[in-house]
Chains A and B, each alone.
Chain A
């Protein structure tokens, strides 16, 4: 029996063979004849005027080809890096988007900001040259601490309070009234800690310019090469779109950090034309820490009101979101539309009001990272709900049950704009409680106590909104691009199939999953379907991969294109079988009419060798489709963490983690499970280990793996995962998206468990041993 390969089968990934044998081709693995190397000049200060940049000593070094600065890119008319989402403040005014030149011209605004580059024959020579550039800086007082930004001098000229926007959503008067009349109000104030994404492959670019054809080629670490091309052409104005080719070859993880259009890739492409040589740039990890976008970094005060029956009556949230020194590509959307809209969680909370002030600071730009706004929202809701249950002496699971949106409530209109399509939250909670052996917890806790340890359990019933959509709505809310996806299904003359998708795989396994979808649709062998992605020269258009959108949006586009192929094939088959198309049925890769049959391969051959062919039909069997979703999808689930704390040292051991998720229909359960694991690890990282810390001078205090604590194998347990399924009712696959769930659900579950173990109301993330120890001792002080 052959192994199952269709929808629902745990097909082994076809991309793996190249990765396990070292044959993957990541950007830094590629080389071009005659390539030179770029090293960027970066600001050592958080805020400073840039004076004269003297490159003469550098240029005297044998092999240094050029020294460029922001003055040069500016003189050449290179445009600014734009923020692609216009948020309006509550007074109706547009957000303030500070100019963001690819290379700083007159002022630098964060440590590590590039203001120039040195191009050399070798990397060593370029580095040597960069060391010899003399730059005059006039230091200015930085605004490095989020809490003080509103009172500090403006970073950007004329920008009072460093406020980019003051946004709100929901009914303030009704929410205030609901809270005023509530029988109980639970309030918490906390920070959502700054994270640094840390895809294991650092960003890189291999940039080329052909002076004869005028064509630019940029091979780079991108999650969305078409968007990169669009921005480089339309905004940065490097060259016309048809003369720009962006290729994202194998990409070593992204988690959001490779969505954005960055300074270095842009400047490298521009410089390749200036020096007339291909240019390679690969970030060192320390550069990644300084100049990749960072994430989260909120200060929040939130209040949940409950009536005497423990029903939620109102939720009020006030958040200050750190945006960093400039607005990155989607920075403004993350703490607003991807955050405020999720505050209803899985609950029937009738009144919600959220206000978000987005502020500039002299730190690296902050933008989307796995979950992007939704982990912050889930943290607010699930920390509040758990705390309210403890304050009221209720079982946290029971309080959640009492407030869940019920299966019969769907579609459910929340008070914060979204319409949830499908879900069954009770089912997820029940299964998670079962897997976590919730009833057995008191006995386990008692056993831990006998061993001198504290044990705690914490729940998190998260919701997320994936596959941002539809385009018209998103654009009306400020998006600068549509949010559809494109796909092309090309049946070749011999019947094999080449699939082109605008989504991009950088670990998600699309080459396997998308082949499963198309082989299933067309009834052709899995091995006869090839998936092409990541190259603007081969794929028509695309918006890339982020927000767990690839399958729900990109996969749906492929279903649409497949349906068009089948429809055209039906006409060809009908002609060949001398009948009409409505007499022809298509199933399992064959057209049938009566006892006649034509396989799709035979039909494809007839389409390309049209000897006997319908007169009014074009030859060929290749179809394109754009799919624009009707709504977001709404994955949801329950995560349960159990921890044990050593009372002597404060060391926290995550002893069990259960995740039960509803992702709708599943294409490849093996890949889905892997996505959940990875998300949980990043969520646990946020809760217990990770924190990007700037000092008051705006210097990043932990810009390496020596001191930024990425989860390691022995920091984590194996996870217990399971699925429930309520298929999405508005996309053809019924899928919801699974990439971000772990990162969204885990932080609140872990902190709920830790606070339970320690017997404290709240504790700051990341809960390090020191913080836990201080809490155990009742010792004041933040800890680090």
Chain B
């Protein structure tokens, strides 16, 4: 029973962290229509940024500045934002496929650099030497995990409320206006490139925040955590939940992460040994089928975007 509860705590923690990332992605894709093909790079920037800033001093690579934890977490999110600014400045004014390719390239390059630049990131063996905040005061691992879960879920709620406010604000309306008809938005004196860039950076900071929390939870990050497959998983979560709907995004995350964990467990428990080697392969086929199937038969997701009529005088639903 205790085992089940502590697994549940673990599961909800990871799912909540991923949900924060999916919310950030939803701002980019659902509300602004930006195809970010390298979500994992921004997730990774947050993860590495947080551990480098908040970690203990290291001899074999830079970092370990031992910053106050909330500052380190913020620093990770800012690192993701800076990365987004560089990519966005270069590609957002071009055709949308350039943006898709460039973000995909960023993810490949990020993983590659983290794997090779030992002086920066610890290379393939990853980044260790991080003491989780306040761990010394809570001597029980389970209690600590419960506390951490509380922090993560409250951050998830904060992110959700922030984004809900944001998309209901004039800024959110502007995002949708640009997504639907760029020329019309231009004719009203708006600057689509600028607005898209800010949305992209904001979304990436949120994804970076999730990355930072993820790295904090494990007190470790390695290039294995920033493989492009994570991008696919996050995308599947968003598209199943419903792009443009924040509640859908959170629901989709829990659903897909649950299905992913369950299929992995089921295959390792019941499948013959020679099949188990292909567990990952089969899981990825399933996730690919989910993505393509949703796009073909229910592109709006399980929770479609609810369009808000925000003209003054009309009551928004």
Say whether A and B bind each other: no
B residues with a Cβ closer than 8 A to A are: none
A residues with a Cβ closer than 8 A to B are: none
